[in-house]
Structure 1
Amino acid sequence: MNLRISKSLGMVAVLYFTANFSAQTKVKDTVPKEKAIEEVVLVGYGSVKKQNLTSAASVVKADAFDNRPLYNVGQALQGQAAGVSVVQASGKPGANIDIKIRGNNSISSAVSPLYVIDGIQTNDISGVNTDDIVDMTILKDASSTAIYGINGSSGVVIITTKRGKIGKPQLNFNAYWGFSKAVKNIDVLNQDQYKSLLSDIKLNGGGDYLATANNPRYAGINTDWTKEVFQTGFDQNYNVNYAFGNESIKAYAALGYQDIDGIIKPSRFQRTSAKLNLDAVILPWLKLNSSVNYFLTNLTNTNDNLSTARGGVVLSAFNTPTFLPVYGNQVNMSPSDPEIYDQATGAIKDGYKPGQFAPNPYQSSWENPVAYQSRKDKTLTQRFLSNLGLEVRLFKDLTWKPSISFDMIDSRNTKFTDGFQTSYGRSKLGIGSQEFNTFQEYNFENTLNYTFKKSVHDFSLLGGMQINERNFQSNYYGGDTFPEGIFNFNYDLAKNQSYDIRKEILRQVSFFGRALYTLNGKYTVMGVFRENANSALAPGNKWGFFPGVSASWLISKENFLADSKIISELKLRGGWGKTGNASAIPAYSHFNLYNPFWNNGVPVYTNTQSDSGDLAWETTTDTNVGLDLGILDNRIRLSVDAYQRKTDNLIAPIRLGTSDFLIFRNIGSLENKGLELALNTVNIKNESFTWNTSFNISFTKNKITEMSSYLRSIPATNIEGMGTLVKFEQGQPLGMFYGYQTSGVNPNNGDMMYVNASGNVVPYTELKPEDRRYIGNPNPDFTFGFSNNFKLKNWYLDMLVTGSVGNDIFNATRFDLEMMNDYKNQSTEVLNRWTTAGQITDVPRANSPSAQFISDRFIENGSYLKLKAVTLGYNFLNPFKGLSKLNLYVTGQNIFTITDYSGMDPEVNAFSPNNGTSGAERAVFGIDYGTYPQVRTIIIGLKANF
């Protein structure tokens, strides 16, 4: 374990348990035992009393995150629940969030949970406004998620939003404003240090780059590219909602606007959201409920997770030489300079005209970061998410609930680089594209629910069916060579045009059921099942059966504990279940597919996908054992869960030989084992002061237990042609880093030394591919969250700490910042490079071929402890007539991080599955490659209740 984080965790634990223990004898005002355990927890297609819950579940209430600047629901889950891993892979506004419940349980299938928002099932939570949320229930084991079949294989998050209530109408207004800065920077060489490095590169047989750096046209120029790129971001958020209700109708209406202007231009996230929840009693036996949501998001992208050569703004900010100005006309322009002026006509050449970015004299396609920032990349998305349901009471204890939901997402992405400002744009005379994506999902459900309560018996039976259809269409228009003066993409004006259209339809049908029986309030048994069919699979393999069973024993209700003054709740839980996953399977997997291209007007067809008709479901079998303990009238509540999760028939895309097409195969099995602990305490509670604490920690181990004999391993993820970095192999954890083991720098010649397969130290010239080994593990030993909530009269203070321990990061950013083999600027780490015989250092000489291997040199400890959020606020009660409450608060997010990681932030994932990766790269994580840095945000907010 990282020593600094170990000490920090130890100090936190000592302070917490000391304060908690010392406070126990001071508190008299507690929640009565019977009332505390009457809480209700949502499960699939219903709810259950918390005391009768048989499976592993966590509940996150809105007050845990409602004062933080969040743009994604996933951020609200971070650090709040055991077994839930949330990684904000980038600090970019609107960036996707990686959410995993109990780790990865697949190689190529999606592992994000299913979200059920007011009964609407979706895998996409983008656009959802966290201000509308009441709470979120996380279902973690298959004994409860099996009822969702193939949709519940990676866990389920049930989101409840605000609704109207009987009573006085409520009008609420919330707003906050703030600013953001980068949490950390990377120091690069100043101009003198850079020129010294160029001299060393030439001395060691490299190119003569120094002459260009000393060219008089650049004299006196010294650009700080990090200051040009990393600026101040601004946040603003406004929400207004109105709720009312009576015996016949209840309604909640909300309107929100959020604007996050990033620290790296032009990154920006803008969202407008509108919501209407309506509940109505039409007849004594007939109720209607509906939810209508509209989201409009406008996302302006800045390229990150890319090298300088491929337009990565972050790495370009570090790599671009400081002698280069932003604009070409900022150089020392001499009429006798043939690079700037046409010697025959005297005209200024491209690259040096006003408004054009300065070309890189070493390689014009490697442009400065401000030039990369000028590229247009905008996505406008409209989403309409709604459902309509009825509740029909057929008999006293029998209810029929038909419902229909509809999800439509319409997005338009526009990219354009004009033919004037940049070298790349001029080389293409302008280049751009527009892509229109339309997604429509229809979901029809019918359930019958029967309940029976008599004496010591409490029984419910649910049965249902679901029909689901998903339609996707993509239209792509691309082109280059535009007329002069065009600064926005117009397909009709492009000389060279390309067009592509793709359509998919995926259908599912399911039958499901649940039986729940409780005897005497102490013994509960639940059984669930789902029979699921998916059109993506070939005939004979379409149907899958996914059962689950669980039970609990509320020991604290037994006679020998019923009168205990210490133990207020003690319950044992156990469950087993199966779920499936089909997300890695293409919609038409059992067909041979071809793409046409035209050769002199004649269509030629190429194979893009081979028949994968023998594919079977990925099936996950989950076993869970849990204990819930409440002490001292539930002032201390502890939940512990141990689980084993095994996924069989893992699906992976295989490329046979040198073919260009993929074939999908079931290749093996994967196992996850874990232990989760959640502790909630009421440390102090009296009329003037309360202090509550929540702590959760999750330990997870995974291993590939089986892989097909014809496929011993799967390589994945190349970093700029440097070779395979991640490899999947039987007996190894997921996502292991693969490369060479170093043995320091040879003090005689400055070359890196390596350890071969026999354990001998050898020079790089003797390395062989078989000398590679596993050099790092991105899977953490454990993750944790720790929160404290204080309230002193009208003041309150909330704190959230998150962390990860034991995971490795491959710092691929250092490939570009420490290679010292060309003209790119480098980090100040290279000041320690070898220069003289006998020198002891861990940085090789400049331009050493020995340094250009994937090795453990770039593996770093990714453990961290982060003060994620702190909020200080004050509540004014009835400050003005008509205003019942006014809340003013200040929140800081990403306040500080304790880590040994040398990069900008250890919370990274350059190859996030949500960043467009596919195939085996879905299980690639823990890589930092010019990632948009995390930001520290300070906001001031207010909430007014009328």
Structure 2
Amino acid sequence: MVSATRWLCALALVLIHLPGYSQQTVQGVVTSEAGDEGLPGVAIVVQGTSNGTISDIDGNFKLSVPNADDAILEFSFIGYKKEVVSVNGRSVINVEMSEDVQALDEVVVIGYGEQKKKEVTGAVARIETEELIKNATVDIGTALQGQIAGVSVQAVSGEPGAGSNIQIRGLSSVNGSSNPLYVVDGVPFNGDPKLSMNEIESIDVLKDAASASIYGTRGSGGVILITTKKGKAGSMKIGLDSYVGVQRITSGEHLMNREQSLYSNFIHQYHLNPNQHFQNTWSSLETNPTSFTNDTDIRGIIQNDNAIIQNHALTVSGGRDGLTYNVVGSFHENQGTIINSGYERYNVRANTVFKKDKWTVNTGMGARVEKQQYAPWQFLLDAIKYKPLQQPLHPDASIVQDAGNGVQAAALGGLMAKLKQDDRRHGNHFNGMIQISNQITKNLSLSSRFGTTFTDDTRVRINPLFIAYDDDGNRIAFDGNARSGVYNQSSRASSLAWENMINYKKSFGEHNFKLLGVFSMENYTFTSFFAEKKDLISNDVTTLQGVTADPNVGTGNNWNQDRSNSLIGMLARLQYDFRGKYLFSASVRRDGSSRFAKENRWGVFPSVSAGWNVSDEAFWAPVAGTLSTLKLRASLGTTGNQNFLDYSNAATIAIGRDYPFGPEDNVMLGLGATQLDYANPEVKWETSQQLNVGFDMGLLSDRLTVTGDFYNTNKIDMLFPYVVPPTAGTTSSVILNIGDMTNKGVELAANWRQAGELSWSLGGTFSKNINEVTKMQEGSEIMYLDNSTVVQGVPNEDLVTAIALGYPAGSFFLIETDGIVDGEEELEAYKKIQPTAKMGDLKYVDQNGDSTITLDDRVYMGSGIPDFEVGLNFSMDWKGFDFSMNWYAAVGGEVMNGSKAYAYKFGRHMDQYYQWSPWNPNSDIPAHRGRDHYNARGYTDYWLEDGTFVRLRNIAFGYTLPKAITQPAGISKLRVYLSAQNPITLTKYTGYDPEVGNNGLSSRGLDRGNYPISAIYRAGIQLDF
């Protein structure tokens, strides 16, 4: 027994030490085939294990390898082909890696699956997570701007949390939404999902209708497919991505100072009354002597220079035994460059993948908490209106004395209310997904996916109580927005999506088939409630119950709502290729939407596409060394649009419309109701048919890749509001399918990638879209859009943006000006059409020759759509140093400078210091005759400017420390960097920013004192453990 025990112990000791006896240190150098330079950052792993290392800055590596005789090493590096080398007992192994820039072999997400780019027949583009994180962008729109041809991204505003407006291949609807559909891990979202960039693995964009038609009614604006990060098998990895920065406004309107304003006011008084201008000028100053010493520029008070912006993200990932996980948590804060504004966002996402035998279970859960403070409406315009002769203000003041005369007091009241306003939103968002898949056979699989989203928002705006006195000591009674009160709005939205998919693939010799079938059901609900009351008792009580006067519960589509809609879809798709050379794809989707009446509830959306990998042909061999790859493709597809108001096919009834009845001496009110608008059960889908022809080309072993697409889109049965004649008993409109529109365009993208010790890439994109309205209601060939006045909140203004037959949707129709009146003969001639004209006035052009200037004299003057857009992207890496920059240009397109018009109305713009007067008769600046004079009307082309701009969107410089320094501390990667966003903008536009007014068709290209875009400067660190 003792002997046996001794033998067992001896055997155990031998077995324990056997692995140690077979351990061997392998070292060597990894170099590039293109040269002798060492490659840093190459991953070297013992095949089948997690044992590995990374080459240092000179390409050297050292690794302990067990079982060296049988071990196999894998060498992998971005941009190079993977190398697999058998150790065979060697202690020194030098490896030469060859470039792998076969862009067509990349895998892209195409919706309900993935496909090699070489086999894609539609217009699909991808951007990887590394590009997103390197530029330290916060929202998806900013990350995409200038990166993908055909994807137009314009900032809604520079306000924190505002996001971007994204259009793919132009405007897709004039009455509904033109936004793309967002799909996150297969689950559709209503609007931007506002993910942290650290959550995202890749973004794929389906641009052509054949690719987007698999989403049927929701694909008319294109589709953005977002794949979030998943874990990888191996030990737990921890990543930290953090930056802190400052931001500031770098542009603005040019306003007069105290001395210039005094002189301009003297000229203004002359224009109003030439005989009393000295007296009128002096009397206004005499009542308020401090005007001589004040030199107030309120913009210095409301602008928050060097506002803090910061973002911090922590990632934990790993997995084993068939279960992988990835958890990301992030915090973002933007303090805002205008006071009383800011944004905070907390994101967390947890993804898991579990595989067991033929089963795969994917889960994803995300949550977002937002805290947003909104800048007051037209805050910058109120600052422009406030004259330098008026007293300085402070947001904390509760009593203001010597507020000036009536006009000045009104300006002070409105501005003071906004300085003290507190307008905040708190939002909670949750989304979840679970997908269960079963690989029934080698060729057949079934999947079922359930997704849900839930959003809860509450917004409270408080206008505090404050007191102001005019020059005579009388208390000023404020009304409108300057009046104290409480506004409260809450909303709740939820969505459910259930999809079931069956996939079948089969090869017959060199013929390859893939079949997909999908059945989906979606439901969306939304409720909101709004109420407000006026006159606070005290600033310490800021609830609705503590406010005393004028209770109001909002009504209409923009306020209190309770609506829902459902969508059922069925999809079949066939994909075929022969030898990977000849490609074909066809799909048909049938959708049913509750937004339509039963007669038109269902729509069918087919598509077909084909491709030819010409470079795979034998006859291509003689030119393959230069033109290495070439693929030709074409597609034809149909999509639908149902993104308009729910219940538009039904009539609405308003109650509480009581009517009098009974004899004259005893009139009583009876309960009444009125039909507000008419039902239209015939309303049907907006339909988009698009033809796309494109190519993918690679030169010089695909170091240079070029992609081009040409498309023609016909949008038919577009929904327009039809104005009902008053004889019908209502003044509203009814939605009808009475419009058509076209989008034609060209997209080009090119990229050069050079690998080696100094690796770099240079890429560019070009996009041009031509939009035209081709059909409208007969007799109504032009329709002006609500909310399209250049200057808001003042009288005598009118609409400038219209949908007109034969023109781009959302074009500017303005009264043309022809200089100013600067001679007596010219004045007498002009008085025939403008009897009140005086010297120095703007001359309006009488377009219809009726000797009268009216709104009928408005003519087409351009639009806010750029003629074309260009993106330029450059990046390089050298021995741990990296540098990147992204330029974006929008060429052409007009901007209406409403901020300048507003400044002119109140005599504040610097140009007016040089206005026409008897002492300056050669000036081309119109005389300032007051706010309501036609010289300052906003609907003329005097305010129209070229909106062309070139912007350095992002620039970053970083350094990654060598592994020899970081690995002993347990750090696999440590990168520090400096970056800037929007540091340079080149433009002739004289307002705040040419990238304005893009949150809707009616406001595109209108600068109305929008929150300007800021320049941001950051310093950051990225750590991987």
Q: Report the alpha carbon displacement of residue 415 of structure 1 after superposing the two structures with TM.
A: 1.1
Q: Is the 8 A contact 1:743 1:755 kept in 2?
A: yes
Aligned to 2:740: 669
Q: Is the 8 A contact 1:198 1:210 kept in 2?
A: no
Q: 1:139 to 1:285 in 2, by over 3 A?
A: same
> Are residues 1:577 and 2:637 paired?
yes
The secondary structure found in structure 1 opposite 2:916 is: coil
| Separation in 1, partners of 2:813, 2:1009 | 20
Q: Report the alpha carbon displacement of residue 754 of structure 1 after superposing the two structures with TM.
A: 2.6
Aligned to 1:734: 809
The secondary structure found in structure 2 opposite 1:408 is: strand
Q: Is the 8 A contact 1:328 1:357 kept in 2?
A: no
| Separation in 1, partners of 2:423, 2:36 | 57
Aligned counterpart for 2:442 among listed residues 363, 374, 396: 396
Aligned counterpart for 1:896 among listed residues 956, 967, 984: 984
Aligned counterpart for 1:840 among listed residues 912, 922, 947: 922
| Separation in 2, partners of 1:151, 1:133 | 22
> Are residues 1:826 and 2:886 paired?
no
> Are residues 1:286 and 2:395 paired?
no
Q: Report the alpha carbon displacement of residue 254 of structure 1 after superposing the two structures with TM.
A: 1.0
Aligned counterpart for 2:974 among listed residues 875, 878, 886: 886
Q: Report the alpha carbon displacement of residue 144 of structure 1 after superposing the two structures with TM.
A: 0.7
Q: 1:68 to 1:211 in 2, by over 3 A?
A: farther
Q: TM-score by structure 2 length?
A: 0.82
Aligned counterpart for 2:564 among listed residues 505, 508, 520: 505
Greater shift, 615-624 or 492-501, is seen at 492-501
Greater shift, 200-209 or 293-302, is seen at 200-209
The secondary structure found in structure 2 opposite 1:184 is: coil
The secondary structure found in structure 2 opposite 1:362 is: helix
> Are residues 1:616 and 2:684 paired?
yes
Q: 1:751 to 1:520 in 2, by over 3 A?
A: same
| Separation in 2, partners of 1:873, 1:602 | 76
Aligned counterpart for 1:812 among listed residues 898, 906, 910: 898
Aligned counterpart for 2:506 among listed residues 440, 449, 452: 452
Aligned counterpart for 2:410 among listed residues 364, 382, 387: 364
> Are residues 1:352 and 2:386 paired?
no
Q: Report the alpha carbon displacement of residue 718 of structure 1 after superposing the two structures with TM.
A: 2.7
Q: Report the alpha carbon displacement of residue 729 of structure 1 after superposing the two structures with TM.
A: 1.2
Aligned to 1:874: 959
Aligned to 2:751: 680
Aligned to 2:84: none
Structure 1 or 2, whichever has the larger Rg, is 2
Q: Is the 8 A contact 2:80 2:101 kept in 1?
A: no
Aligned counterpart for 2:881 among listed residues 781, 790, 795: 795
CA-to-partner distance for each residue in 1:329-362, whole Å, 9 max, x for gaps?
999xxxxxxxxxxxxxxxxxx9537xx9999753
| Separation in 2, partners of 1:359, 1:590 | 53
Q: Is the 8 A contact 1:106 1:923 kept in 2?
A: no
Q: Report the alpha carbon displacement of residue 598 of structure 1 after superposing the two structures with TM.
A: 7.8
Alignment of 1:437-586 (within 5 A): 437-491=491-545, 493-499=547-553, 501-562=560-621, 564-584=624-644, 586=645
| Separation in 2, partners of 1:425, 1:128 | 42
Aligned to 1:186: 253
Aligned to 1:7: none
Aligned counterpart for 1:41 among listed residues 97, 100, 108: 108
Aligned to 2:1017: 938
> Are residues 1:643 and 2:728 paired?
no
| Separation in 2, partners of 1:817, 1:783 | 31
| Separation in 1, partners of 2:566, 2:922 | 64
> Are residues 1:750 and 2:840 paired?
yes
Q: Is the 8 A contact 1:667 1:711 kept in 2?
A: no
Aligned to 1:928: 1007
Q: 1:286 to 1:623 in 2, by over 3 A?
A: same
Aligned to 1:346: none
Aligned to 2:941: 856
| Separation in 2, partners of 1:360, 1:328 | 20
Q: Report the alpha carbon displacement of residue 210 of structure 1 after superposing the two structures with TM.
A: 6.1
Q: 1:210 to 1:592 in 2, by over 3 A?
A: farther
| Separation in 2, partners of 1:408, 1:209 | 61
Q: 1:405 to 1:609 in 2, by over 3 A?
A: farther
Aligned counterpart for 1:319 among listed residues 385, 395, 398: 385
The secondary structure found in structure 2 opposite 1:65 is: helix
| Separation in 2, partners of 1:25, 1:293 | 45
Greater shift, 142-151 or 321-330, is seen at 321-330
Q: Report the alpha carbon displacement of residue 868 of structure 1 after superposing the two structures with TM.
A: 1.0
Q: Is the 8 A contact 1:425 1:431 kept in 2?
A: no
Q: Report the alpha carbon displacement of residue 374 of structure 1 after superposing the two structures with TM.
A: 1.6
Aligned AA (2:443): D
Q: Report the alpha carbon displacement of residue 209 of structure 1 after superposing the two structures with TM.
A: 7.0
Aligned AA (1:712): E
Mind listing any 5+ residue stretches in structure 2 that lack a counterpart? 1-32, 38-78, 82-98, 469-475, 555-559, 659-667, 824-838
> Are residues 1:246 and 2:331 paired?
no
The secondary structure found in structure 2 opposite 1:257 is: strand
Q: Report the alpha carbon displacement of residue 90 of structure 1 after superposing the two structures with TM.
A: 1.2
The secondary structure found in structure 1 opposite 2:600 is: coil
Q: Is the 8 A contact 2:817 2:940 kept in 1?
A: yes
Aligned to 1:227: 300
CA-to-partner distance for each residue in 1:816-862, whole Å, 9 max, x for gaps?
1123xxxx351111122111288233211120734144211111100
| Separation in 1, partners of 2:362, 2:286 | 73
Q: 1:58 to 1:359 in 2, by over 3 A?
A: farther
Q: Is the 8 A contact 1:417 1:425 kept in 2?
A: no
Q: Is the 8 A contact 2:213 2:637 kept in 1?
A: yes
Aligned AA (1:236): Q
Q: Is the 8 A contact 1:360 1:366 kept in 2?
A: no
| Separation in 2, partners of 1:225, 1:169 | 54
Aligned counterpart for 2:720 among listed residues 646, 652, 677: 652
Aligned to 1:770: 856
Aligned AA (1:701): I
Q: Report the alpha carbon displacement of residue 280 of structure 1 after superposing the two structures with TM.
A: 0.6
| Separation in 2, partners of 1:267, 1:657 | 45
Q: TM-score by structure 1 length?
A: 0.88
| Separation in 2, partners of 1:924, 1:577 | 31
CA-to-partner distance for each residue in 1:113-134, whole Å, 9 max, x for gaps?
0111111111322431112111
Aligned pair count? 875
The secondary structure found in structure 2 opposite 1:201 is: helix
Aligned counterpart for 1:697 among listed residues 751, 766, 770: 766
Aligned to 1:216: 288
Mind listing any 5+ residue stretches in structure 1 that lack a counterpart? 1-23, 305-311, 332-349, 914-921
The sequence identity of aligned pairs, in percent, is 24
CA-to-partner distance for each residue in 1:478-516, whole Å, 9 max, x for gaps?
212332344523346544323354210101111112110
Q: 1:555 to 1:360 in 2, by over 3 A?
A: farther
Aligned AA (1:932): Y
Aligned AA (2:901): F
The secondary structure found in structure 1 opposite 2:304 is: coil
Aligned AA (2:1011): Y
Q: 1:112 to 1:259 in 2, by over 3 A?
A: same
| Separation in 2, partners of 1:194, 1:605 | 56
Aligned to 1:340: none
Aligned AA (2:380): V
Q: Is the 8 A contact 1:608 1:662 kept in 2?
A: no
The secondary structure found in structure 2 opposite 1:649 is: strand
| Separation in 2, partners of 1:358, 1:95 | 36
Q: Is the 8 A contact 1:549 1:577 kept in 2?
A: yes
| Separation in 1, partners of 2:148, 2:588 | 26
Greater shift, 65-74 or 107-116, is seen at 65-74
Greater shift, 867-876 or 393-402, is seen at 393-402
RMSD of aligned Cα (Å): 2.7
The secondary structure found in structure 1 opposite 2:701 is: coil
